[in-house]
Structures are given as structure tokens and as C-alpha cells.
Structure 1
Amino acid sequence: MEWIKQALDRARDERGHSSDANSRQAQKPSRGSHVKAPAEQKVVYSQTRRLNISVDHLRQNRVISGLSDPIVQQYNMLRTHVVQRMRANNWRSLAITSPIEGAGKTLTAINLAICLAREVNHTVLLVDLDLKRPRIRQYFSDEDLPGISDYLIEDAALADLFFNPGVERLVVLPGHKSLIHSSEMLSSPKVVSLVDDLKNRYPARIVLFDLPPVLACDDVLAFSPYFDSVLLVAEEGGTSKADLKRSIELLEKTEIIGTVLNKSRHNRQGYSYY
């Protein structure tokens, strides 16, 4: 899909970013600078809920459940691209979105988070900020677990909402109830304060935000000041050139780390990265 690469290149050119500028930016100190976690350090979850997740449940939902999964290598390649770009630019947070619904952004966010967490240099926090249609929890469990909406609306204790899905170095902050006024909530002082804490509490943490589709509502634009970069997920045969182009235009002031093309006919795993 050469047109995807051309659209991304054009967007980068219009922002006036050059490789020299990126190099200078990477050399600047940042509060988001990556600090490697000690390789021998084992994460102990003494307060975070640990879910006993069925492997069959994960497989039914196409979530990576082991190193033998056919899609693992493709997500490992995506992980490498993402980590290299984030380290080069001192980025700590990544939003995952798509132009329209049905492209597979949430599953991409989950599987990317799992592969990222398998590296010992950092921990990973996956946050469901698709407040209108929170779905991350369903990929892991059929339980009616509390989530971020309970914290935002009912002042639930934040510590009671996180769970570990059985993957070391990965913690999930799920959604729960659908929130109608989601864009206003995403730019509220309570969310801004929460996100700042999530990104900066641990120096070796990468935070992934699963956000709604760009063209479905204004949530991504409202939240864009609070993430470092964004990954676009498109579906071959489902995402039109016009929708992808419009999404890139709307995200012109953000750092687009790349585009994932799901269900690609040009890749036997149904996945490509640009």
C-alpha cells in the first residue's frame, strides 16, 4: 500500500520535521526520558488484581497467548519499530486509534502491549480511554470488572481498578460504563491529572492509550495534548483512502509513529506496518 506511505511522508513533510531536527530533539533532556528497568528485577503485584485468564478465551478473542502464536512475530516487528521511535524521541506514551470503527485498533493495542511487556527494559500500562465504547476488558475476561468510568464518575479508588492479565510487566486500566460526554471528560482536570500521574509515576513505564476512532468523534483531538505519539490502525478493504487522509490531516499537529494495515492481502499474517 504505497499510498499509505506517501500520505504519512507528506504529513511529516508538512510538519517540517527533518531527521536533523529529530536528532536534536532526541538529545534534549526530557521528563519522559526512558530509564531502563533492571533486567533481573521481577515485578511483584501485591496490590494489583491478578486475573486468572483462560487461554481459550484469549485465543477466541485473537489475543496473543503464547510465543507460538502465528501473529507474534509480526507484533514483535511492530514493537521494535515503536520502541526505536519512542526511545529516539524520549516519548513515554502512545495513543492507538483508527479512522473509523472496525479496523482492529483495540486488539492491536492489546497485542502490542503484550509484546512490549515481554521486553525487560520497561513496564507497560494499557489504558482504555475509548470512553464511549470501552472494550479492552472483554478481551481478557467476562467478569463485570470496575474501570476508569467508576473513578471518573463515582470516585472509585484508582488502585482497585488495575489488573494484571498474567503477563509480567503489563498492567491494564480497563474501561467499564459508557460515558456520553467523553471528549469533555478527556480534557477535564481530573483526567489530565490522572494521565500525568500514569505517565510519570514510574520512569521505565510505557503507557498505551486505546482511543476512539478519529472520525467518529472529537475525543482524539481533545486528548491529543496529553500523549506523545499516535499509531493509526487501518483495515485493508475497510478503510478508504479518503478516511485515512482525513485522519492524518486532523492529526497534523501530533507525532504519527506509523500505520498498521490489518487484514492485508499482501502479508500472510494479515498485517503490515508503514
Structure 2
Amino acid sequence: MSPAQLEDRAIIYRSETARREVDAFRHLRTQLLSVTEGNFITLVAPVSRGSGGSFVARNLAAAVAFDETKSALLVDCDLRHPSQAQTMKLAANDGGLIDYLEDHESNADSVLYDTGVPRLRLIPAGKSRETGAEYFSSFRMRLLLDSLRSRYPNCHIFLDAPPVRGAPDARILADLADVVVLVAGYGRDTAAAIAQAGANFDPAKFAGVVFNEGV
């Protein structure tokens, strides 16, 4: 895709000109790689709706995909308000995560989509649901992530979670992840709200807070 197409999809890209946003995500990527081993699973969880968790998850995955020796997989786990397929302008006609979890005859390949960004793929959420807790704690969800890790040893998986406040979904997803990144809206989420959200996660997995000024 052209730079204009990538900007339209709110995805970072490499260029000859230094860009603050791109450098920030490269720095975050380096920090994650320094505290993890192998093809880790990262949960990206916003404190509240509008904090920009999906934007951060998408671009952390894109930053990993900059490296030609690695690939990234983004999984839209916000079942109430899925956004990744729409933002990335993908026609997810074959369904997504929910379709895989509900249909025990389906396989992961049927819900993996190329994004147009080299080495970056997406599993969209599929049909929206009011709650994801029972899906995320299911055997099928764990099987999906385990099979993807074993099949793609150089692929790093990013789970785009729903907001921490208001539902248990992000906390349940954290059990499946190796590392957790909390996203706070700069000037939006209070220090108390950030601390309360962070307390939901195992300190051994908690990588820190990203303050997002953008989308």
C-alpha cells in the first residue's frame, strides 16, 4: 500500500524521513523484545473506551513487522465494538474470531487475513457479541493461540482487548498472554483509573503504560 493508503488506515510505515510517531512505536517494540523471549503474545488493553488501545495494538504489530525476520498477527478481541477490519478496510467475508470459536469444524486459516502490510496479518472479531468472557476462557481460544505459536515460530501475536473498565474480558485475556501493555488516553484517563486498571493484571506480566494522544 502507498503511504497515503497506510495513513488512511492509521498504520505506521517506514520512510526516509524521521517521524515521531514511528520512532515511538519502534521504541515500544524494542522494549517488548527486550523483556520477552520467542514468539510472545502481547495483550494491549485500554483503560477505557476511547483511550486508543486498537490504534496502539495495530501499530505495535506493524512495528514488529518492519523486521523482515519476523511477522506479526493482530487479533481483534473487542467483541462489543470490533474495529480493526473496518479501519484496515478489509472485507472479512469469511468471518473472524467468533466464527472460529463457535464452529468447531473450522480452522485458523479460514479467519487469517492479509492486511496489505508485509508480514502483518489480522484475525478480525467477526460477529459482534455483548460479552467475550466465556469465549476467551474456552478451550478453543487457547487451542487457537497455541496452534498459531507452534506453526509460526517467528510470529508475534497482539491481542486487541476491550477496555479494562466495565468488563472482565481483558483480565481473562491476560491469562493467555505473556505480557500486558495498558493504554491510557493522555489527558483522558485519571491516575486513579490507570492504577485501578493496572491492578487487574499479574505484575510479572505487566510491561507498563502507554500514554496515547492520538486515535
Report the TM-score range of the alignment, normalised by the length of the smaller protein: 0.7 to 0.9
Q: Which runs of 4+ in 1 moved over 4 A?
A: 154-157
Does structure 2 retain, via aligned residues, the 8 Å contact 1:128–1:209? Answer: yes
Q: Give 3-state SS (helix, strand or coil) of 2:12's partner.
A: coil
Match of 2:128 in 1: 178
Aligned to 1:207: 157
Distance across 2 between alignment mates of 1:142 and 1:193: 25
Aligned residues with identical type, % of pairs: 27
Q: Structure 1: which 5+ residue stretches go unaligned?
A: 1-52, 264-269
The answer to whether the aligner puts 1:63 opposite 2:11 as a matched pair is: yes
Mapped pair 1:82 → 2:82 = no
1:238 lines up with 2:196 in the alignment: no
Distance in 2 separating the partners of 1:69 and 1:211: 30
For the structure 1 residues 187 and 253, does the alpha-carbon distance in structure 2 shift closer, same or farther, using more than 3 Å as the test?
A: farther
Distance (Å, rounded) in 1 between the aligned partners of 2:2 and 2:103: 30
Amino acid at match of 1:251: F
Give the alignment partner of residue 113 of structure 1, picking from 38, 61, 67: 61
Say which structure, 1 or 2, has more relative contact order (CA 8 Å, 6+ apart).
2
SS state of the match for residue 185, structure 1?
Answer: helix
What is the aligned partner in structure 2 of residue 149 from structure 1? 98
2:75 matched residue in structure 1: 127
Q: Report the number of matched residues.
A: 211
| Selected match of 1:103 from 27, 30, 51 | 51
Separation in 2, partners of 1:75, 1:177: 30
Q: Deviations over 1:189-247 (max 9, x none)?
A: 11121122122322222111111111121011222221111011111111111110101
For residues 56-88 of structure 1, the C-alpha deviation after alignment (integer angstroms, 9 at most, x for no partner) is 44323422244258321121111111111113x
Letter in 2 for 1:132: R
Structure 1 CA distance, aligned partners of 2:193 and 2:212?
15
- State the 1:248 CA deviation: 1.4
TM-score by length of 2: 0.88
| AA partner of residue 205 (structure 1) | C
The alignment partner of 2:42 has SS state of: strand
Is it true that 1:249 corresponds to 2:199 in the alignment? yes
Find the aligned partners of 2:68 and 2:39 in 1 and give their Cα distance: 18
